[in-house]
């Protein structure tokens, strides 16, 4: 895919990522799916190679790299081999959890928590969704009540990415039922805190290697110093961080679509039917032409959003457009890829089949695509 996003430094970094993927990812894909878990050794290996916590400042053990294009290089190489579950885990750590800590943690909290995000020793999760509250976070019931110099958290969360392995969980809780959007706060719950338990590892349609769990909080006493940011600002903090989360999902979708287009083109150039390559049939060829055009046009918008994010000017609306468009396109490309592979496209030994089940969640998490349309729609009606 032609793109002018990367400069020589990014390409050199991408080569390093490719080596990591070939050595530590490709040989383990089947094992991870069978185990329903990605082993910690992979996280540690990525940390040793400098692939994690890129935005952590040097004073806290990181490289202090604010250029998001390096993260895009990682996502591209992981997508190239169809390792969507690993991509999801890395993005949760670097684009979501770490983003909250960098924005809102004080220096003492950063000294405690950030170094592990660089080494791969700390796996993070963010606990927002509840059994009865998904995209509408104002409907959550998990509560945090002050008791002396502690907060006592009660409630449950579900669909939590990295919920089984997480050492540190940012919990979105209601701290004042009468304060409206100012009645929510963020707390960092750490492994080993009494009352914090993990439920079942959820059995998902796809992303089998990505551990997703239910989390339970029963009178969990969280010290005051684990309040993240200011009291009552939790909802506002979520709104600030959603653009990067949605951009990350859009990039993952774009890179997946590019990878699947490559696999599909390779297949239709080799597979024959009725005496010729199936890629030569006009009906199939026209669909491929349309999809390839859409993928290339989509890449230009995604690249623009990355540049805007680097400049600090990416809007929530543009991030929503990126997420909406790229995930919908990803679905179209993968569906066509499965169809053009014929029966083999339905066999899990072919990466296009795995991509098919892994991609469906993209249009749901990070805010459903219906919510993305609502955000864009409201912006259109502004005077």
Give catalytic residues, as residue numbers. Answer: 245
- Label residue 45 exposed, middle or buried (CB < 10 Å: 0-12, 13-18, 19+): middle
298 Cβ neighbours under 8 A, 6+ residues apart: 254, 257, 325, 326, 329
Question: 221 pairs with which residues across the strands?
Answer: 152
DSSP state for residue 263 in the 8-state scheme: H
* 8 Å CB contact between 166 and 123: yes
Comparing C-alpha atoms, which of 2, 5, 78, 11 is closest to residue 355? 78
- Label residue 234 exposed, middle or buried (CB < 10 Å: 0-12, 13-18, 19+): buried
CA distances, 57 to each of 64, 65, 67, 93, 111 (Å): 4, 8, 13, 16, 11
* 8 Å CB contact between 214 and 156: yes
* 8 Å CB contact between 93 and 117: yes
123 Cβ neighbours under 8 A, 6+ residues apart: 40, 43, 89, 93, 162, 165, 166, 167, 168
231 Cβ neighbours under 8 A, 6+ residues apart: 175, 185
DSSP string, 58-116: GGGTS-----THHHHHHHHHHHHTT-HHHHHHHHIIIIIIHHHHHHH--HHHHHHHHHH
CA dist 3 and 221 (Å) reads 50
């Amino acid at each position: 895919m032609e793109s002018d996003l990367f400069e020589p430094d990014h390409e050199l970094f991408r080569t390093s990522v490719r080596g990591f993927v070939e050595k530590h990812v490709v040989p383990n894909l089947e094992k991870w799916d069978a185990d329903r878990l990605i082993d910690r050794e992979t996280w540690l290996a990525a940390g040793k190679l400098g692939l994690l916590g890129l935005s952590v400042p040097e004073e806290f053990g990181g490289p202090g790299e604010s250029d998001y294009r390096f993260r895009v290089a990682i996502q591209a190489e992981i997508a190239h081999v169809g390792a969507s579950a690993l991509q999801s885990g890395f993005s949760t750590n670097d684009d979501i959890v770490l983003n909250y800590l960098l924005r809102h943690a004080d220096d003492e909290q950063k000294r405690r928590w950030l170094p592990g995000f660089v080494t791969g020793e700390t796996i993070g999760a963010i606990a927002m969704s509840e059994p009865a509250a998904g995209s509408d976070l104002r409907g959550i019931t998990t509560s945090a009540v002050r008791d002396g110099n502690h907060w006592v958290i009660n409630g449950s969360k579900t669909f939590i990415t990295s919920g089984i392995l997480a050492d540190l969980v940012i919990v979105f809780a209601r701290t004042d039922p009468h304060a409206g959007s100012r009645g929510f706060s963020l707390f960092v719950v750490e492994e080993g805190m009494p009352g914090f338990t993990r439920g079942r590892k959820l059995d998902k349609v796809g992303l089998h290697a990505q551990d997703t769990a239910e989390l339970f909080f029963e009178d969990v006493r969280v010290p005051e110093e684990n309040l993240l940011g200011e009291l009552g600002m939790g909802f506002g903090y979520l709104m600030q961080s959603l653009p990067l989360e949605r951009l990350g999902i859009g990039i993952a979708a774009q890179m997946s679509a590019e990878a699947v287009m490559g696999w599909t083109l390779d297949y239709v150039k080799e597979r024959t039917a009725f005496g010729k390559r199936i890629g030569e049939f006009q009906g199939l060829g026209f669909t491929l032409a349309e999809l390839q055009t859409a993928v290339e046009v989509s890449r230009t918008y995604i690249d623009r959003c990355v540049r805007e994010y680097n400049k600090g000017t990416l809007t929530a609306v543009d991030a929503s457009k990126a997420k909406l468009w790229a995930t919908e396109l990803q679905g179209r490309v993968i569906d066509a890829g499965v169809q053009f592979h014929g029966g083999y496209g339905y066999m899990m030994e072919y990466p296009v089949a795995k991509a098919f089940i892994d991609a469906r969640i993209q249009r749901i998490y990070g805010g459903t695509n219906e919510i993305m349309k609502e955000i864009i729609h409201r912006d259109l009606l502004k005077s």
